[in-house]
Amino acid sequence: MNVHPNATPESPPVAHRVGTLRRWFDTSTAAPVDTARGDRIDWLRASPFVVMHLACFGAIWTGVSPVALWVALALYAVRMFSLTAFYHRYFSHRTFRTSRPVQFVFALIGASCVQRGPLWWAAHHRHHHRHTDTLLDPHSPAVHGFLWSHVGWFLTPNGFRTEMARVPDLANYPELRWLDRFDTAIPVLLAIALFGLGKVLEHVAPGLGTTGWQMLVWGFFISTTVLFHATVTINSLAHRFGRRRFDTDDDSRNNVWLALLTFGEGWHNNHHFFPGTVRQGFRWWEIDLTYYGLRVMAWLGLVHDLKPIPAWVAAKAKR
Ligand SMILES: [Zn+2]
Ligand SMILES: [Zn+2]
């Protein structure tokens, strides 16, 4: 048999490609990972992400209707809240408490955002806080450049991996581990549900001008793609553009436009200075929609123990 001198029986390139395809559906598969290219973009694994962007152009053929537009906007808002309130402030930073059912419901909505499971998201984000804007930071624009921090770092074998040692508190929940393991399941179900809903409207209310394909393109692909780019501006733009209130050891900034777009996450210099509070707007005029939403949820009894801004931090923020 003619074997390349550097090839090993355990990890031939074909096995890597098969492993990649299997990871589209099951991230825990035992198939070998291409560790030699750990920091290079795995285009095969990333291709559904590329397709998600291309599918937005389907709007040229589907057109748009008020229903499809409102569904896209509503899904942006609900999912942005799930990402910022739960994936970020709850799973990554534990800044409030909730019940297991509420934790699961918002993990489920978060999982529909095509930003993978809560364990993956929190593990990488905790790593970002530990090593902000150093070589070990997975998405520092100062170290790796704008494009890599915005859209490159998570498309690599190292980026796709979840370091369980960083999220031992979350790994205790089998339902959260399931969302991480089968991270394409929930987005696919959402896409099918939107298509089905559009088909139903097509037949029962043709006057609305809404179709199945239109709901799929606007409700799923466009809403999810815009949601994705808005979220990752915090990795790329919020470490570049804006005001630095606190002299932190990183390049984090406060940026009102990003705060509006991401429901409060744009107060990123505040957040890097003191990540232990549920609030990211530290002054009354620093609009933080996620915090207001969590206050309403606390009033309804769905979440509790919202960690406030300590007095010494609030005093420092006034200077
Ligand atoms: Zn940051
Ligand atoms: Zn954070």
CA of 9 to the centre of ligand 2 (A): 42
All structural domains of the chain with their residue ranges = 13-317
Residue-wise pLDDT tens digits, 269-306:
999 999 999 999 999 999 999 999 999 999 999 999 99
pTM value is 0.92
Kindly give the distance from the C-alpha atom of residue 19 to the centroid of ligand 2, in angstroms, as a whole number.
31
Query: What pLDDT, in 10s, does the model give residues 105-121?
Result: 999 999 999 999 999 99
Q: Give the distance (Å) from ligand 1 centre to CA of residue 81.
A: 18
CA nearest neighbour of 55 among 227, 231, 224: 224
> What ligand is nearest to the CA atom of residue 128?
1
Report CA(60)–ligand 2 centroid distance (Å): 37
Q: Is residue 2's pLDDT more than 70?
A: no
Interval 31-60 mean pLDDT: 89
Expressed in angstroms and rounded, the spacing between residue 252 Cα and the centre of ligand 1 is: 6
- Tell me, in angstroms, the distance from the centre of ligand 1 to residue 255's CA: 12
CA 226 to ligand 2 centroid distance, Å: 21
How does residue 9 score in pLDDT terms, banded at 50, 70 and 90?
A: very low
Mean pLDDT over residues 14-24, rounded? 80
| Interval between CA 45 and ligand 2 midpoint (Å) | 27
Q: Closest-lying ligand to the alpha carbon of 250? A: 1
Of 242, 264, 236, residue with least CA distance to 255: 242
3-state secondary structure of 98: strand
- The Å distance, Cα 93 to ligand 2 centre, comes to 7
Query: For the chain, how long is the longest CA-to-CA vector?
Result: 73
Dihedral angle sign, alpha carbons of residues 119, 237, 143, 267: negative
Q: Which of 5, 7, 27 is nearest to 184 (CA)?
A: 27
| 140 CA → ligand 1 middle, Å | 8
| Structure-token pair, residue 32 | 């070998």
Q: Residue 24: which pLDDT band, with cuts at 50, 70 and 90?
A: confident
**Binning pLDDT at 50, 70 and 90, where does residue 11 land?**
low
Rounded to an integer, the average pLDDT of 38-53 is: 91
Ligand nearest to the CA of 234: 1
319 band by pLDDT with thresholds 50, 70 and 90: confident
- Residues 6 or more apart whose CB falls under 8 angstroms from that of 130 comprise 136
Which pLDDT score, from 0 to 100, does residue 1 have? 38
Query: Given a cut of 50, is residue 168 above it in pLDDT?
Result: yes
Q: What letter represents residue 178's amino acid?
A: W
Ligand nearest to the CA of 254: 1
Residues 6+ apart with CB under 8 A from 105: none
Q: Which of these, 317, 262, 240, lies nearest to 87 by C-alpha position?
A: 262
CA 132 / ligand 2 centre spacing (Å): 10
* Model pLDDT, residue 3: 42
To which residue do tokens 């150093």 refer?
134
Nearest bound ligand to CA 271?
A: 2
Give residue 95 CA to ligand 1 midpoint distance, Å: 16
Residue 272 Cα, ligand 2 centroid: separation in angstroms? Answer: 7
**How does the average pLDDT of the chain come out, rounded?**
93
225-251 tens-digit pLDDT = 999 999 999 999 999 999 999 999 999
Q: Across residues 172-195, what is the average pLDDT?
A: 97
Please report the pLDDT score of residue 61 as a whole number. 97
Label residue 25 by pLDDT band (50, 70, 90). confident
Query: How far apart are the CA of 24 and the centre of ligand 1, in A?
Result: 28
User: What is the percentage of the chain residues whose pLDDT exceeds 70?
Assistant: 96
Report H helices in the chain: 13-25, 43-55, 59-62, 66-81, 100-111, 118-130, 141-144, 146-147, 157-160, 168-171, 174-181, 185-204, 212-214, 223-236, 256-261, 268-273, 289-299, 311-317
- Kindly report, residue by residue over 198-232, the tens digit of the pLDDT: 999 999 999 999 999 999 999 999 999 999 999 99
